[in-house]
Amino acid sequence: MNFPKKVIESVASDFSKKRSDRDALRLRRLKEIYSLCPEIKDIDASLSRVSKEIAEATFTYKSNIRERIESIKNNNLALQERRASLLCNLGFDRDYTDPPYECEICNDTGYDGFHLCACHRRALVDKMLDCTGFGNLIKAQSFESFDPSVFETEEQRKRASAIRTVLEAYADEFTHSSDSLLLVGGTGLGKTHLSSSIARRVIEKGYNVVYESAESIFREIGREIFRSDFSEKDPEYYRFFDCDLLIIDDLGSEMITPSSVSYLYNIINTRLNKGLPMIISTNNSSEELLRKYDERIASRLFGEFVIHLFMGNDQRRKKLGKK
């Protein structure tokens, strides 16, 4: 997994909190039970000596070791049964002082032997989704919920279905050598829907994905560049240049200034040189992009990105009940 340090650290601290919360609960319950029934305290003291007794038996007795260990074990089982029945008489479950772990596979350590436990992987992906830059609305968008039949004509439906198939395969097969994509088409045709679906799938594969609107990327870069004379750049700034997949949504809808043009060029150039893929969506035509940005950018977008054209009727307007 190639997630940012802050994601990994934050999940590690969630796991350690989970364990210390459980330990604290266990101690509180033991204290409660010992005060209600001192015999259980004595039993626990005896139980805690069992492994020492077995070790002693192994090293001290030359003969009858087997019988000796058998008798320690039987005594141990009897103590456990006695403990359970005392707890039961008090009205508690036999596991009351041994509260369950959230994950029984790794006992909330996050590691199953030497490997990342599935629960740890899930937690990392969830945290990464939170950090990626899309809000709750977009989290609900997936390849499964993208329905080509919502479009009006047969041709549009076929195209939508083909685009979904190609983009889903792109997400499933994503690596650093994947192409960069340019998703072009009018408003409300599912560009954001499908690019957030890609983001989610690629994150689930363990990649570090950053997803932002062009507007907020340029705003953030502008802020960092502006303060760079005085202080170190925020490490977050580098994520646009370093992440495994950068998704820039709605290019062309932001306020275009000479500096935003140069930020965009810098990002595209740096990433193409490093071989790191990007997905850019826009509802501008090639002429509009050429007019708003410059020749250098347009030639990279149209020369080096794989272009997918979206067609159809605006689904956002349809949802709002407009014709």
Ligand X SMILES: Nc1ncnc2c1ncn2[C@@H]1O[C@H](COP(=O)(O)OP(=O)(O)O)[C@@H](O)[C@H]1O
Nearer to ligand X, 4 or 133 (CB): 133
196 scored as a contact of Mg ion (CB under 5 A): no
In the list Mg ion, Zn ion, ligand X, none, the entry touching 106 (Cβ below 5 to 8 angstroms by class) is Zn ion
192 scored as a contact of Mg ion (CB under 5 A): yes
What residues make contact with ligand X under the rule CB under 6 A? 141, 145-148, 150, 160, 187-193, 315-316, 319
Q: How far is the CB of 113 from Zn ion (least distance, A)?
A: 11
Q: Which stretch binds Zn ion (CB under 5 A): 58-66, 105-113, 169-177, 229-237?
A: 105-113
In the list ligand X, Zn ion, Mg ion, none, the entry touching 28 (Cβ below 5 to 8 angstroms by class) is none
Q: How far is the CB of 254 from Mg ion (least distance, A)?
A: 13
141 scored as a contact of Mg ion (CB under 5 A): no
160 scored as a contact of Zn ion (CB under 5 A): no
User: Per CB under 5 A, which of residues 222..251 are in contact with Mg ion?
Assistant: none
Nearer to Mg ion, 206 or 252 (CB): 252
Q: Which residue has the tokens 């009351």?
A: 96
282 scored as a contact of Mg ion (CB under 5 A): no
For residues 92 and 81, is the Cβ–Cβ distance under 8 A?
A: no
Beta strand 111-112 pairing with 115-116:
antiparallel
- What are 245's strand-pairing partners? 209
Nearer to ligand X, 109 or 253 (CB): 253
Nearer to Mg ion, 18 or 191 (CB): 191
Q: How far is the CB of 127 from ligand X (least distance, A)?
A: 24
125 scored as a contact of Zn ion (CB under 5 A): no
Kind and range of the H or E run holding 42: helix 38-47
106 scored as a contact of Zn ion (CB under 5 A): yes
DSSP 218-287: HHHHHHHHHHTTTSPPPGGGGHHHHSSEEEEESTTSSPP-HHHHHHHHHHHHHHHHHT--EEEEESS-HH
For residues 212 and 247, is the Cβ–Cβ distance under 8 A?
A: yes
Q: Which stretch binds Zn ion (CB under 5 A): 10-18, 70-78, 119-127, 177-185?
A: 119-127
11 scored as a contact of Zn ion (CB under 5 A): no
Q: Which residue is nearest to Mg ion (CB)?
A: 192
User: Per CB under 5 A, which of residues 243..282 are in contact with Zn ion?
Assistant: none
Using alpha carbons only, give the angle 92, 97, 102 rounded to the nearest 5 degrees.
Answer: 110
Closest CA to 198 of 277, 124, 266: 277
In the list ligand X, Zn ion, Mg ion, none, the entry touching 119 (Cβ below 5 to 8 angstroms by class) is Zn ion
Cα–Cα distance for residue pair 187/195, rounded to 1 Å: 14
DSSP 8-state code for residue 130: H
57 scored as a contact of Zn ion (CB under 5 A): no
Sheet of 180-184: strand order equals: 209-213, 245-249, 278-282, 180-184, 305-309
Burial of 163 (0-12, 13-18, 19+ CB in 10 A): buried
97 scored as a contact of Mg ion (CB under 5 A): no
In the list Zn ion, Mg ion, ligand X, none, the entry touching 190 (Cβ below 5 to 8 angstroms by class) is ligand X
- What are 177's strand-pairing partners? none
Please list, in sequence order, all residues whose beta carbon lies within 8 angstroms of the beta carbon of residue 270, skipping any fewer than 6 positions away.
Answer: 241
Q: Which residue ranges make up the site for Mg ion (CB under 5 A)?
A: 191-192
Q: Which residue ranges make up the site for Zn ion (CB under 5 A)?
A: 103, 105-106, 117, 119
